[in-house]
Amino acid sequence: MSHYSIRCRKCGKTLENSFCAFCEHCKDALLVTEYDQRFMESGAEGVWRFNWLPVHEPASVQPGPLVYRSQGLAQQLGLEQLYIAFNGYWPEKGALLETCTFKEFEAAVVLQNARENGVDGLIVASAGNTARAFAHLSAVSGFPAVIVVPRMCLGEMWYLEPSSVVPTFAIGDGDYSDSIDVAKRIALVTGYPFEGGVKNIAKRDGLGIVLLEAVSKIGRLPDHYVQAVGSGTGAVGGWEMAERFVRDGRFGTRLPRLHLGQNLPFAPMLHAWEKNSRTLFPEDLDPALISQITTRVLSTRYPAYTVLGGVYDALTATKGKMYGVVNDAVYAGMETFFAAEGIDIVPASGVAVAVLKDAVQKGEIKKNETVLLNITGGGEARLRKEKKTHLVIPKFISKNITEKELEELLCPVLKKSC
């Protein structure tokens, strides 16, 4: 018997356990997971000790985030209650994510949820971090996955295993959003479902593990939650977890205020939010803007903003705020964190540090309030000193590839009839 059900946020209909689906009546609203029990921890290892995950009998070990009370960065910013969720590789502090990204939680929960739902394999689109996480856990668990990435991101990508272990395809003439389009077409050809993006409840709950760990460590909900966003799925997952904690009643009655950052000049959600618009503006989705930012992992033209239950609603519910961060501020954020905390972080995390600094300077965050800074990736430089990594060597395809060409290319690789 399952410990959770799935409900449509718009019409309230409860659905049977399903994988990557919208409500059949409400095509514009996200489904949400409802758990039967209040928040608790078990004797299981890593993230599986939390009961608010849509899995039943996970077979593999999955380390969680490191959440600790900051000294260095807190002192520099004048904050009394700054907690850092470090998602990466920092073994002496207890951070053991060898993919160096919080997307590892997403991959672990999505793959386990898919397995329990009778799914035979997944098609995954990524701008880098998600690809690395899914490739690693696919190889470790033996669950088939096909990865689709944009060529423009290859220079920043690496795998823990050789890319020959997990089929990886690069779109030579498109961006991250084109990779999503092709991934969906590959799903139709192969019969493996597209992993679903924001509409996958396992993905959002997996990314929400950061807040589960934080509340477990702090003993209450933070007043503020700070993160860089591309699709915004992680922020939505954090908001949904916070809603569950408020309903639980033991960890606070107020949702953490979201402070979300994008890398200028590609900041479609920022510009829409500043104009109080639920709709994104076409000029802010110009692919030419993507080439001007340093955080390609934040570059999707299909963010989870307009959908009911997405970023717009999360910001509205939490009285949140969006921030724009220029490239120089990204690098400054990375340098600030390394100097203050002693570990390297990725550019997207540099965006989050810059957002925190800006919010404090503008008085949006007070010095005595409890703050959770989500460092979504870090420790890559440290990892490379200790472990071997591999360049991603994909098969290149066009965003205009035909279905017939996809069949000829994919079916032999997957060793299945399409």
Annotate 298-367 with DSSP letters as a single string. Answer: G--SS-SSSSBTSHHHHHHHHT-EEEEE-HHHHHHHHHHHHHHHSS-B-HHHHHHHHHHHHHHHTTSS-T
Q: How far is CA 199 from CA 29, 141, 288, in A?
A: 9, 23, 27
The yes-or-no verdict on residue 324 having pLDDT over 90 is yes
Q: What is the pLDDT of residue 243?
A: 98
Cβ atoms within 10 Å of 254's Cβ, excluding its own: 11
pLDDT band, very low/low/confident/very high, at 60 (cuts 50, 70, 90): confident
Q: What is the pLDDT of residue 1?
A: 66
Contact assessment for residue 90 and residue 74, using Cβ atoms and an 8 Å cutoff: no
Where helices occur in 191-321 by DSSP H, the ranges are: 201-207, 209-218, 233-248, 268-274, 287-290, 311-318
Helices (H), 12-168: 72-77, 103-116, 129-141
Contact 230, 270 (CB under 8 A): no
Q: Per-residue pLDDT tens for 225-272? A: 999 999 999 999 999 999 999 999 999 999 999 999 999 999 999 999
Torsions phi, psi for 195 (to 5 deg): -65, -15
Q: Where in the chain is the domain with CATH 3.40.50.1100?
A: 66-97+202-383, 120-192+389-414
Does residue 51 or residue 24 have the better pLDDT? 51
Report d(CA 173, CA 159) in Å as an integer.
Answer: 22
Q: What is the CATH number of domain 66-97+202-383?
A: 3.40.50.1100
The tokens for 31 are: 């489904």
* Cα(315)–Cα(308) distance, integer angstroms: 12
- What phi and psi, each to the nearest 5 degrees, are found at residue 96? -125, 25
Residue 97, both tokens: 């994510």
Side chain identity, residue 22: F
What whole-number distance in Å separates Cα of residue 325 and Cα of residue 309?
25
Q: Is the pLDDT of residue 219 over 80?
A: yes
Q: Is the pLDDT of residue 18 over 70?
A: no
Q: Is the pLDDT confidence value at 418 over 70?
A: no
Task: State the average pLDDT over residues 78-88.
Answer: 98
Neighbouring CB atoms inside 10 A of 409's CB total 17
The single-letter DSSP state of residue 101 is B
Please give the CATH topology (third level) of the domain spanning 120-192+389-414: Rossmann fold (3.40.50)
Stretch 143-164: mean pLDDT: 90
| CA nearest neighbour of 151 among 39, 3, 299 | 299
Residue 211 scores a pLDDT above 90: yes
Task: Determine if the pTM surpasses 0.75.
Answer: yes
Q: Which two tokens stand for residue 248?
A: 């639980």
374: tokens are 């989500």
Q: 363 is written with which tokens? A: 């008085």
